[in-house]
């Protein structure tokens, strides 16, 4: 199972991976105004999963991800495509950004928009594509 020498990695991964994932979501959501965005956030998340993968192996990582990374690619592309169409119903050109600002009770404004949806699509595709490659490579490594 696990060699004693990897105890540091083992412990670090358990703490780091959730933080990294949280950070990736943070990057994703703030991306429109500060450095960040779907692509970067996706890479951070992929990095987190890769760390987990190196520590615990592919089967456990697959369990953690819950979704097959290949499906994640499809879901990401689908969400990305979803953001294309709302503009058409408004009579505008494809992909024209739509904004739906919502005021929360606390006085905070949340701006929902098609660029956000699109960014989420990018995020999922990047995570899916990277993890598909890495998991495939690791699983093929040894028998």
Partner 1 sequence: MQLAVLVIYLAALITPWLFVQHQHRTAYIMALVPAVLTIWFATHIPLVAGGEVLIHEYQWIPGLDISLTMVLDGLSLMFALLICGIGTLIVLYAGAYLKGNPAQNRFLVILLAFMGSMLGLVLADNLITLFVFWELTSITSYMLIGFNHQSAEARKAALQGLIVTVAGGLALLCGLVMLASIAGSYSIQEILGSSEALTEHPLFVGMLICLLLGAFTKSAQFPFHFWLPNAMAAPTPVSAYLHSATMVKAGIYLLARLQPELGESGLWTILLSSFGAMTMLTGAFMAVRSTDLKKLLAYSTIMALGTLTLLIGIGTETAMIAFAAYLLAHSLYKGALFMLAGIVDHEAGSRDVTLLGGLRKNLPLTAILVAVAALSLAGIPPLFGFVAKELLLESMLGGAFHSFIYVFVMVASIFVVTVASVIALRPFFGTFKAPKEKEKIHEPPIAMLAGPVVLVFLSLVAGIIPGTVGSWVTLPASTAVAGGVVEGYLALWHGLNLPLLLSGISIAVGLVLFKYWDAFRSRLQVLDPIIARGPERGYFWFMDAIVWVAEWQTRILQNGSMRNYLRTIVLVFVGLTGYTLLTRYQLHWNWDVNLYFHELVTVGILVAAAIAACITHSRLGSVAAMGAVGFSVALIFILFSAPDLGITQILVETLTVILLVLVLFRLPSFSNISTTRERIRDAIVALLVGVLIMFLIMITIDVQLFEPISGYMIENSYTLAHGRNIVNVILVDYRALDTLGEIFVLALAAMGVYAMIKFNPATSPGSNHYAGTLILGEKKLAEKDIIHSLEEIHQKMLEDQNIISAGAMKDRNDNDDDDEDDSPNSSYDEDRDHDDSQAAKRKAEEHDDDAENEDKEGKKS
- CA–CA distance, 138 with 143 (Å, rounded to integer): 10
112 binds partner 1 (CB under 8 A): no
What is the smallest separation between the CB atom of 107 and partner 1, expressed in angstroms? Answer: 19
Q: How buried is 139 (Cβ within 10 angstroms: 0-12 exposed, 13-18 middle, 19+ buried)? A: middle
Sorted by sequence, the CB contacts under 8 Å of residue 132 that are 6+ apart come out as: 69, 70, 72, 73
Structure-block tokens of residue 93: 């050109």
Figure out which of the listed residues 17, 29, 48, 55 binds partner 1, where binding follows CB under 8 A.
Answer: 55
Figure out which of the listed residues 20, 21, 29, 38 binds partner 1, where binding follows CB under 8 A.
Answer: 38
Give the contact letters, 81-100, x = binds to partner 1 (CB under 8 A), - = no.
Answer: x-xx---------xx-x-x-
User: Are the beta carbons of 20 and 51 closer than 8 angstroms?
Assistant: yes
63 binds partner 1 (CB under 8 A): no
20 binds partner 1 (CB under 8 A): no
Taken in order 87, 88, 91, 93, is the CA torsion positive or negative?
positive
Coil, strand or helix: which one is 72? helix
- Interface ranges with partner 1 (CB under 8 A): 1-3, 6, 31-40, 43-44, 46-47, 50, 53-60, 70, 73-74, 76-77, 80-81, 83-84, 94-95, 97, 99, 111, 113, 115-116, 118-119, 121-122, 125-126, 128-130, 132-143
């Amino acid at each position: 199972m696990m060699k004693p020498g990897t105890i540091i990695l083992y412990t670090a991964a358990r703490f780091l991976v959730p933080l990294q994932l949280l950070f990736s979501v943070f990057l994703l959501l703030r991306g429109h105004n500060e450095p960040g965005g779907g692509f970067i956030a996706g890479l951070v998340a992929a990095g987190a999963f890769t760390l987990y993968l190196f520590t615990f192996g592919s089967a456990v990582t697959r369990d953690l991800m819950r979704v097959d990374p290949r499906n994640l690619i499809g879901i990401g592309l689908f969400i990305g495509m979803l953001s294309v169409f709302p503009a058409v119903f408004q009579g505008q050109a494809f992909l024209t950004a739509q904004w739906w600002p919502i005021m929360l009770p606390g006085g905070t404004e949340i701006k929902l928009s098609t660029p956000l949806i699109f960014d989420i699509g990018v995020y999922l595709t990047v995570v899916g594509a990277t993890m598909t490659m890495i998991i495939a490579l690791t699983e093929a490594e040894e028998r």
